[in-house]
Amino acid sequence: MSQNTSRRAARCCGSAHSRFLRRFTHRCIPGRAGGLAAAALCTALALAVALALPLPAAAAIATTPDPTVLTIPEGPGVGAAALGMGGAVVAITADQTSAYWNPAGIAHVHWISIVPSLSLDLPQKESLPLLQDLLAGTDAQTLWEKYQGQSISVAGTGTLGLATTHVALSAVAQGVAQAQFPQNASDGVTTQWKAVNASTLTLAHSFQVPALSLARLDVGANIKLLQGAYDRTHYDVSGPGQWSATSDSIRGTGVAYDIGVQAQTLDIMHLGAVVRNLGATLTWGDAGPRETLAPVLALGVAVRPPLLGLTVAAGIDKPLTAGSTDLAGSDAAVWRLGVEQSVLGVLALRAGAYGTPGAATPVMYTGGLGLGLGPVRANVAVQTADFSTGQACADLSLNF
C-alpha cells in the first residue's frame, strides 16, 4: 500500500462535493468480479457523505489507521424479497441472492437468475434539518453553530451477480460512511468510511433421496474473496472559509467459505442450514490489523400449505466462535420470522421481523411487496424498529 505525506489548505467552494465524490468512488474497492456491486454501493455512500462535507479533498498522511474501530451496522441482508420476510429465507431461497443466504438455493435456478439489489438507511427525523441545510449548501461555519456535537452517517448493502443452474458469480458489498461535527469548530471534523466486498463463486447440486422420503436435497458452497477499504479524513479550520485536511487509508484482503444445504418434502415442508464465513479473516495493509469474522450457523424452516399461496418461515442465526464478531461487531443470536402471501402468482405481500434478545434495538419489523410479470419481478421492502427511521431496499429480478 503506497502512502505519502502532505498537508494543504484550500478554500471551500461548490465543486468540493464533486471532487470528493469522484475521489471516493475511484478509490473505493478494486474492480475484479465485484466491481459493479461495490461501485453502486460506494457511490451511494459517497453521495451521502459528500452532502455532509462542503470541504476540499484531503491529502494523504503516512499513518496506519485501524479500520476495526468502525463497524458496519447489521444490515437487512440481500434482496428486497428476503428483507420483506425478515430474512427468514435460509430454507426457501431459490434465486441469485442464494449466494448470500444459502448457496444450496442456487440449485433451484432453472436457467438464469439476475437480482441486482441495493438497500440504504432512511434518515432519522432529527437529521432532516441537517440534511436540508446540507442540500441547501449552507456554509460550514453555520453548520457548526447549529449542529455542534451531532453526526450523520449512512450504511448500505449492494449486490449484483449472475446465477445459472449449479453455478453463480456474484458480489455483495456492505459499507458505512460517517461525518462528525465537534462541539468546538477548533476541533475540526472527522469523516470516515468503510466497505467490505465479497466476490463470490457458488457451486450447488441437487440430489434425489427416496430413502429419506425427501423430494430433493440441495447442497451448495461459496468461495468468497474479501476486499476491504477504509478511509479517514480530519479537517481543521485554518481561517475564515479555509481548511487544512489530512487523510489516511488502508486496504484489506481475505478469503472465506460458506457451505449450505436445503431439504424439501414434496412442496410443503422446507428445511435449510448454512455455515457462513468459515476461515474469514481480513488482513489490512501489509502489516496492519487483522479482523476476524465469526463463522455463523443459520438454520431455517418454512411451510407452504397446498393451494393457499402462503409461505410461513422462521430461522435463527448464531455466531459459532466465542469472542469473534460479525462486521456489525455482534456475537449474539438473531431470530427471524417471515410470511409471504402470493396473489394470483402476480402480487406478493410480505411481512416479517428479526431481532436479538437483550439488544438496544431488540426487534426490527419488516414488510414489502413484489409485482411480477413472467420472468421479471420488482420487489421493494422496508425495515424499522420504531416506525420513524430504518432501511429501504429495492431490486429488479430476472429469473428463467
pLDDT digits (tens, 9 = 90+) for 259-287: 999 998 877 899 999 999 999 988 998 87
Radius of gyration of the chain (CA): 22
What sign does the dihedral 342-347-351-354 (CA atoms) show? positive
Stated pTM of the model: 0.82
Q: Does residue 209 form part of some domain? A: yes
Nearest C-alpha neighbor of 48 from the set 141, 146, 118, 135: 135
Residue where the block lists cell 475564515: 240
pLDDT at 393: 93
* CA pair distance 79, 392, nearest whole angstrom: 11
Residue 49 has pLDDT above 70, yes or no: no
User: Which residues, other chains included, contact 326 with Cβ-Cβ below 8 Å and sequence gap of 6+?
Assistant: 74, 277, 293, 294, 296, 319
Q: What's the number of domains the chain is made of?
A: 1
Calculate the alpha carbon distances from 282 to 197, 267, 323 in Å: 11, 40, 16
Q: Which structural domain range is residue 316 located in?
A: 8-69+78-399
Q: What pLDDT is attached to residue 120? A: 82
- In a domain, residue 3? The reply is no
Answer whether residue 36 is part of any domain: yes
pLDDT one-digit tens code per residue, 286-338:
877 888 888 999 999 999 998 899 999 999 999 887 654 555 555 678 999 99
Task: Identify the residue whose cell numbers are 393457499.
Answer: 308
CA-based nearest residue to 81, from 351, 301, 303: 351
The grid coordinates of residue 342 equal 402470493
Q: Is residue 117 situated within a structural domain?
A: yes
Q: What is the mean pLDDT of residues 179-198?
A: 81
Report if residue 1 sits inside a domain. no
Is 282 inside a domain boundary? Answer: yes
Q: How far is it, in rounded angstroms, from Cα 319 to Cα 312?
A: 24
DSSP string, 119-138: EEEEPPGGGHHHHHHHHTT-
Could you tell me which residues come within 8 angstroms of residue 386 by beta carbon, excluding any fewer than 6 positions away? Answer: none
In a domain, 171, yes or no: yes
Q: Hey, what amino acid is at 12?
A: C
Q: Tell me, what's the pLDDT at 18?
A: 40
More confident residue, 25 or 340: 340
Q: Cβ(87)–Cβ(340) under 8 Å?
A: no
User: What CATH number is attached to the domain comprising 205?
Assistant: 2.40.160.40
332: in domain: yes
Q: Residue 253 contacts by C-beta under 8 Å, 6 or more apart in sequence?
A: 225, 226, 227, 228, 282, 283
Over residues 207-219, mean pLDDT: 79
